Structure 1
Amino acid sequence: MTDKPLSLLKKIGHQHYQESHGLHYDDFTVGDIYEHRPGRTITEADNTWQSLINLNTHPLHIDHAYAATTAFGKPLVSSLVTFSIIGGLSLASTSARAIANLGWNNIKLLKPVFIGDTLYARSTVMAKRPSATRPGEGIVTIQTHGLNQHQKTVLSWERSFLISLKTDD
């Protein structure tokens, strides 16, 4: 990571600061790695509620008796749940100031996630460029990995988002 200060606090008076949420385009440097903390332990409620909200009613996710008969022997956390949590974990230090998400690419589900697993996220800045059509804005591309408590990658993707440059506000 570079040694430049990031725009996380804005001075608004003598020893008085306003917390900022997220980074500006200027704060990103290709190659920087962000370890997103804290992690998030997956609960039964997370898996059941989110599976039902997403209308993912596959019994492997919500039926313990059925899941016991599968190769996993227990309910598997829905990939939509895992995707949502990893996305949320990575938001504050990547795209909290984004104007728009532009897309996710190369989404890979690499290992199963189970109730009780704790997930963490790590993002690497892959590319950035000024917007060709929107002055004062740029496009940042990151690669995010979701890791379990054993530091095994369970999910990865690349994501691009449109984000503003710093202003003197």
Structure 2
Amino acid sequence: MTEDSAHARRLVAGWQGRYYEDFEVGDIYKHPYGRTVTETDNIWFTNITMNLNPMHFNEAYASQTEFGEILVDGTFVIALAVGMSVIDISANATANLGYDDIRHHGPVYHGDTLFAESEVLKKRESKSRDHVGMVTVELRAYNQDGDLVLSLERTPMVLKREYAQPSAAKPTGWPDGIGTQPADLEDE
């Protein structure tokens, strides 16, 4: 028997995301994985959303502005920052109830790398749904130089752990019975 075959295989739960009970007011989550914004990101997003401001796609026009170059579409910056926060804040959300107090603090350019963090501002149990609670966070995005470029408040409705019943065999987003199941390992 080799050293590798001496170990039993087992199903191990990966990151399941946070549930309502996991959030505490004052907690700050620095979200993993910064993301560099490319020209392609900006052009596609601008075209898909029909944002006709030439500042986002017309180099000749943008070069004549106070910024001297194309600016990344602000709604892309919002979408990217929110997306970066999902792993920590809303992987177990059943709905996003609102985005408030959105502020662009500085420009974002092609080639900038963004990083995001969220601070828990408040939380409360739902009065009409026993299985969820509301969590309000301030989401902040910074560029590679540490400049704050975006802040906003968002409030997802997050599942309580007892209702989600997370398991290694059925992580968030997986249907029942897909992939390796505990019964597959019993005969080994």
TM-score scaled to structure 2, two decimals?
0.80
| Whole-Å separation in 1 of the counterparts to 2:132 and 2:9 | 31
Q: CA offsets, 1:51-109, max 9 Å, x none?
A: 11111121110011111111111101110111111111111110011000000110001
| Whole-Å separation in 2 of the counterparts to 1:43 and 1:131 | 40
Taking the TM superposition and a 5 Å limit, the aligned residue runs for 1:15-94 are 16-94=11-89
| Whole-Å separation in 2 of the counterparts to 1:52 and 1:138 | 37
Q: Compared with structure 1, are the counterparts of its residues 64 and 106 closer, same or farther at alpha carbon in structure 2 (3 Å cutoff)?
A: same
2:40 maps to amino acid: A
Residue number in structure 2 paired with 1:116 = 111
TM-aligned CA deviation for residue 15 of structure 1: 5.0
Residue number in structure 2 paired with 1:146 = 141
TM-aligned CA deviation for residue 19 of structure 1: 1.8
SS of alignment partner, residue 61 of structure 2: helix
| Whole-Å separation in 1 of the counterparts to 2:49 and 2:14 | 33
Structure 1 residue runs of 5 or longer lacking an equivalent are: 1-12
Taking the TM superposition and a 5 Å limit, the aligned residue runs for 1:125-144 are 125-144=120-139
TM-aligned CA deviation for residue 156 of structure 1: 0.3
| Whole-Å separation in 1 of the counterparts to 2:9 and 2:122 | 37
1:36 maps to amino acid: H
Which of the pair is proportionally richer in strand? 1
TM-aligned CA deviation for residue 14 of structure 1: 7.2
Which of the pair is proportionally richer in helix? 2
Please tell me the root mean square deviation across aligned C-alpha atoms, in Å: 1.5
Which 4+ stretches in 1 moved above 4 angstroms?
Answer: none
- Higher Cα Rg: structure 1 or 2? 2
| Whole-Å separation in 2 of the counterparts to 1:137 and 1:81 | 29
| Whole-Å separation in 2 of the counterparts to 1:100 and 1:72 | 37
TM-aligned CA deviation for residue 167 of structure 1: 1.6
| Whole-Å separation in 2 of the counterparts to 1:21 and 1:80 | 28
| Whole-Å separation in 2 of the counterparts to 1:21 and 1:84 | 22
| Whole-Å separation in 1 of the counterparts to 2:102 and 2:151 | 6
Q: How many residues align?
A: 157
Percent identity, please: 40
Q: Compared with structure 1, are the counterparts of its residues 15 and 29 closer, same or farther at alpha carbon in structure 2 (3 Å cutoff)?
A: farther
Which of 95, 98, 103 aligns to 1:103? It is 98
Structure 2 residue runs of 5 or longer lacking an equivalent are: 1-7, 166-188
SS of alignment partner, residue 91 of structure 2: coil
1:40 maps to amino acid: R
